[in-house]
Amino acid sequence: MKKKKIPAKWSGRAVWINLFAMLLVVIGVFIGLWFSLDNYTMHNIEVTVPNVKGMKLYQAKKAIEQQGLFAVVADSGYNKTFPAGTVLEQIPANDKKVKPGREIYLTINTTRTPTLQLPDIPDNSSLREAQARLKAMGIKLSPCEYVDGEKDWVYGVKYRGKNIFGGDRIPIGAELTLQIGSGQFSDSPEIETDTTNIENEVNSDLYEEESFGFDDLF
């Protein structure tokens, strides 16, 4: 049998040249992908998140953007110790290392004081129960005001000197005054009647009527 001849392009030096060229192409593709991915993910490039708590929103945005980051208002809260429109919280926190272009989520202090609904306390609960419910809601209580009635029973609730009722809305942190019974009841005053004067007035009216009738006859 005769051996088949291998084409020249698949033998000797030509084969090695072709294999080497293919290897160079593969290496070049991997190197290109590596650098493009490195640039895309900004490998080893990080910036520090600034501390913007307590800043006005426009100041916080400016400080964040100077670091190549983006500010996003994500939520609002209420803290009476901070002016309205200031930053209460930030995510990620300050001094964290992040990639450029990262979004920083901000919680802003609301411009309006949140309100709560007063529970049905007036004339519907004892002092102890009312105190427990109101304190759990974060409401402050001033010294009680005593009124006539059953001891330690809540007869009314006042806010800034005015009576409020169950269902009314009050600001968070409001200070209320409970009107509670002192355990004493005031006696109703007796009305004294002078029967002598009444009898005299009746007799006088009768005399006038009789006199008028007698004169009419003439």
Q: How far apart are CA 145 and CA 158, in angstroms?
A: 9
Categorize the per-residue pLDDT at 189 as very low, low, confident or very high, splitting at 50, 70 and 90.
very low
pTM for the full predicted model: 0.48
Domain residues of the chain, as ranges?
47-109, 115-181
Tell me, what's the pLDDT at 41? Answer: 54
Same fold: 47-109 with 115-181: yes
Domain 47-109 sits in CATH 3.30.10.20: yes
Which amino acid is present at 24?
L
Closest CA to 109 of 73, 145, 157: 73
List, for residues 126-157, the tens digit of each pLDDT value.
999 999 999 888 889 999 999 999 999 999 99
* CA-to-CA separations, 189 to 186, 192, 198, in angstroms, rounded: 9, 9, 21
Strands in 52-153 per DSSP E: 70-77, 87-91, 97-98, 103-109, 115-117, 140-141, 145-147
What is the fold of 115-181? Answer: Trypsin Inhibitor V; Chain A (3.30.10)
Among 88-92, 178-182, 196-200, the least confident range: 196-200
- Categorize the per-residue pLDDT at 214 as very low, low, confident or very high, splitting at 50, 70 and 90: very low
Contact present, 51 and 95 (Cβ < 8 Å): yes
